[in-house]
Amino acid sequence: MMRNLQGSETLGAFSEALDLALRQQASRLLAPDSRKSDKGLRRFTIREMADICFRMNYNTLRHHLKNIPDLPQGIMEPGNRRTFSLEEIHEVQQKLFDAGKIPAPLYPNKFEGEETAKLLIYNLKGGVSKTSTAVNLAQFLAMRGFKILLVDLDPQASCSDLFDIQADLDGTPSIYDVLRYEEEGDGEARVPIADAIQATYFPNIDIIPGSISLTEFEYETASAAAKGIPFYSRISDALSLVEDAYDVVLFDTPPHMSFCVIAALYASNSMLIPLSAGMLDVVSLVKFLDLASSTLDSIEGVDPNKRFDFIRILLTRYSPNDPAQLQLSSFLRNTLGNAMLNTDFLASTAIADAGNTMNPLLEVDPSSFTRKTYDRILESLHGIALEIEGEIMTGRGRIPETEGMN
């Protein structure tokens, strides 16, 4: 008897069955808000506004809210707790800045002539928290008032999923449609970058989604390169049309080297390398750094002026209670010194859970974790965002090079 061999139709059937079931489950779980983005973002307390958004003393902020005219006052919730939407918070921030209550190094938006920070979050290795870093960093910086454009360069598009934006399912343009090579007679054409940008439910965060079609960019680039069409500048050329509107552009990347990543490397002016806290991860980091160095070397060959404002390494999934990891962390700091961020991205159930609940930290209700769990990871992510902010402000020249902000 012939064996019942399987192939493309098997995988196709799996995909269809799962996709249908996921959609049904989503509509049951979330009905009547069938999509996460319909629910909007939670509201924030004055304490959060002071600590995370403004980096201002709590009592000073309360004083301003009482005494400066025309500031939004939020709403009073049960328990005599005043809460604000993030839009209201940013209105307060702008008015406090206009009233001279926020100094320039703490004011997030660019001044005339300042450059947009373009940060590549990259490591060849899979599962080292690239996407978790990109999403949480985007949210903490957006809370602070920075205007963020997230560019999802991963065909798996997890980053877009976390913002409930699914180019493949919704039929909206993805970064592929922006980067693709227009073929004569090929029905579909390139999409202007502005048309591929989508607002998210998180104020101050826009996204250009990833999609599975990004894999096609790789094939197309290979044949375009044979015809002498350069690909290095494809992302930076497109980005130059829209980047003025943003304080920070963040690239989330796939766990491999690709033409797309090289074009993003060329478009960036800073790099953050997430490294998870294991010996094997450090060993593969060595190989990654070698590869990244020679890739950058060939980019510098094309553009000798290509320089980065900063290149830093972030230790991720770090458990300071594990003696081996503690040792690894001090080994890395001894060896790499300032290249390591001072703050580590701690391992936390609150982050692992986001993979299931689809809620990055700032979207969860703090009471859904123990106070200690929530505070630990909040402090970790906040610390990381502050260090990156320090780099951005140094790049803008608002704080001196040597001083740092921490």
Ligand X SMILES: Nc1ncnc2c1ncn2[C@@H]1O[C@H](COP(=O)(O)OP(=O)(O)OP(=O)(O)O)[C@@H](O)[C@H]1O
Residues that bind ligand X (CB under 6 A): 126-132, 154, 158, 255, 316-317, 345, 347-348, 351-352, 354-355
How far, CA to CA in Å, does 84 sit from each of 39, 88, 377?
16, 6, 23
Largest interatomic CA distance in the chain: 86
Give which of ligand X, Mg ion, none residue 355 binds (C-beta under 5 to 8 Å, depending on kind). ligand X
Give which of ligand X, Mg ion, none residue 270 binds (C-beta under 5 to 8 Å, depending on kind). none
Give which of ligand X, Mg ion, none residue 366 binds (C-beta under 5 to 8 Å, depending on kind). none
Question: Among residues 245 and 291, whose Cβ is nearest to ligand X?
Answer: 291
Is 131 a binding residue for Mg ion by CB under 5 A? The answer is: yes
Give which of Mg ion, ligand X, none residue 345 binds (C-beta under 5 to 8 Å, depending on kind). ligand X
Is 130 a binding residue for Mg ion by CB under 5 A? The answer is: yes
Question: Among residues 129 and 200, whose Cβ is nearest to ligand X?
Answer: 129
Task: Tell me which amino acid residue 319 is.
Answer: S
Question: Among residues 158 and 213, whose Cβ is nearest to Mg ion?
Answer: 158
Give the shortest CB-297-to-Mg ion separation in angstroms: 26
Q: Name the residue number minimizing CB distance to Mg ion.
A: 131
Is 180 a binding residue for Mg ion by CB under 5 A? The answer is: no
Which residues pair with residue 346 across a beta bridge? 318
Question: Among residues 300 and 322, whose Cβ is nearest to ligand X?
Answer: 322
CA distance 105 to 392: 10
CA distance 88 to 72: 6
* 162 Cβ contact partners less than 8 Å away, ≥ 6 residues apart: 131, 135, 354, 358, 360
Helix, strand, coil tally for the chain in percent (to 5) = 50, 10, 35
Question: Among residues 127 and 404, whose Cβ is nearest to ligand X?
Answer: 127
Give the shortest CB-355-to-ligand X separation in angstroms: 4
Give the shortest CB-382-to-ligand X separation in angstroms: 14
Give which of Mg ion, ligand X, none residue 279 binds (C-beta under 5 to 8 Å, depending on kind). none
Determine the 3-state secondary structure of 181 from DSSP. Answer: coil
Contact 271, 120 (CB under 8 A): yes
Is 160 a binding residue for Mg ion by CB under 5 A? The answer is: no
Question: Among residues 89 and 350, whose Cβ is nearest to ligand X?
Answer: 350
- Using CB atoms within 10 A of its CB, is residue 151 exposed (0-12), middle (13-18) or buried (19+)? buried
Is 147 a binding residue for Mg ion by CB under 5 A? The answer is: no
Is 276 a binding residue for Mg ion by CB under 5 A? The answer is: no
CA distance 326 to 322: 6
Radius of gyration of the chain (CA): 22
Give which of Mg ion, ligand X, none residue 348 binds (C-beta under 5 to 8 Å, depending on kind). ligand X
Q: What is the DSSP letter of 199?
A: E
Residue carrying the six token digits 């404002």: 309
Give the shortest CB-36-to-Mg ion separation in angstroms: 18
Pick the piece of the chain touching Mg ion (CB under 5 A) from 93-101, 127-135, 279-287, 395-403. 127-135
Structure tokens at 296: 């950058």
Question: Among residues 131 and 269, whose Cβ is nearest to Mg ion?
Answer: 131
Residue carrying the six token digits 């140094």: 394
* 358 Cβ contact partners less than 8 Å away, ≥ 6 residues apart: 36, 161, 162, 164
Question: Among residues 131 and 198, whose Cβ is nearest to Mg ion?
Answer: 131
Provide the binding-site residues for Mg ion, judged by CB under 5 A. 130-131, 158
